[in-house]
Amino acid sequence: MLHNIFFLFTYLFSLIRWNLSFPKVKNQSTTTLLVSITIVGLIPFIISYGPYIDLSNLLFVNVYETRALVLEKVDNLYTAYTYSWFSKVIIPTALIFCIYFRKRFMLIVMITSLVFLYLCGAHKTVFLGTFFMIIFYKYEYLKKIFFFMKLMTLFLIFSIVITFLFDITILWDMTFRRALLLSALLDYCYFDFFDENYIYWSNSFMSSFIDYPYETTPDFIIGRDYFDRPKMNANVGIISDGFKNAGHIGALLNIIIVATIFSFLNSLKISPKFFGLFILFLFSLLNSSLATILLTHGGFVMIIVAAFLLKNTETSLKSESKLFV
């Protein structure tokens, strides 16, 4: 029921047209601005992670050792928050502008910055934002949607085939099973455990006012009690996140917030070249709490970038030279 309400609200809110005026940075200046923000913003990363850089991680060697090392040695609130801001929003957006306006030197700088972020902990997901931006660079929105559906269908068929024929389950487990089947199962677990036991954001922004009643976080509680795996991080989507905090009212609140965000973005007339930026945001809704998506995963940064840097690019970019057609 709640999932149906989410899709219904998203559609209804998409019919709303926001009439808000924002100062818009010129497209050519946007490239320089984003590159400059990246260069300056990565300085604390160089200071904090520099001593622990392992170039062998580029060959996917010693990956887990590097992750454990930086987890033990690096404790920096700034880098913890901005890591995803740069990797999922700022750098991928800058890359698209660099490609479009043929800023080859800046393009090299951004690619180097992305590789450096990967070396700061060896997390391969750092490339996800750029991957989606590049793969959805061409065509208009409708063609992108059809392309995305075809791509997902082919990947699903391929995953099923190699699972049955060769007993290779990694593609199925890491993609569709995790994104669709496991998400639905975790929703049920959260609904069952937190029904009438709501925590009212006491492990988040309300922690100063409300005592959190459990000894560990909700995701580890679910992993322990429902899967007998105390170290399992059972990530939650926005609907379950709302329900665990305030029941159906909390879930509805999250739905309204997300639908409002989509409605706002839809009114900005953003070029379809940035479609990949929002695909990544959509996937985040499946396995993260709303507060985490907005603060840690770069949701707020995405909204700011969209409002001040990407507004009206659907029309403004068409008249300027581009690298790809």
d(CA 123, CA 68): 11
Task: Take residue 267 and report the two structure tokens written for it.
Answer: 């009114």
DSSP code of residue 210 = S
What is the full DSSP assignment across 46-85?
Answer: HHHHGGG--GGGGGT-SHHHHHHHHHHH---HHHHHHHHI
Whose CA is closest to 44, among 85, 90, 91, 77? 77
- State residue 264's pLDDT score: 92
- State residue 173's pLDDT score: 67
pLDDT, one tens digit per residue, over 216-264 is: 888 889 988 888 888 777 877 889 999 999 999 999 999 999 999 999 9
Whose CA is closest to 41, among 107, 116, 128, 133? 116
d(CA 290, CA 21): 26
Query: What are the residue ranges of helices labelled H in the chain?
Result: 2-14, 27-41, 43-49, 63-73, 77-84, 91-100, 104-119, 128-135, 141-166, 170-172, 182-194, 218-227, 238-266, 275-287, 290-295, 299-305, 313-316
- State residue 179's pLDDT score: 65
d(CA 259, CA 256): 5
d(CA 206, CA 199): 10
Task: Take residue 296 and report the two structure tokens written for it.
Answer: 């840690």
Task: Kindly list the domain boundaries of the chain, sorted by start residue.
Answer: 2-316
Task: Flag residues of the chain having pLDDT under 50.
Answer: 321-325
- State residue 322's pLDDT score: 46
The torsion angle over the Cα atoms of residues 279, 260, 34 and 67, rounded to 10 degrees, is -60
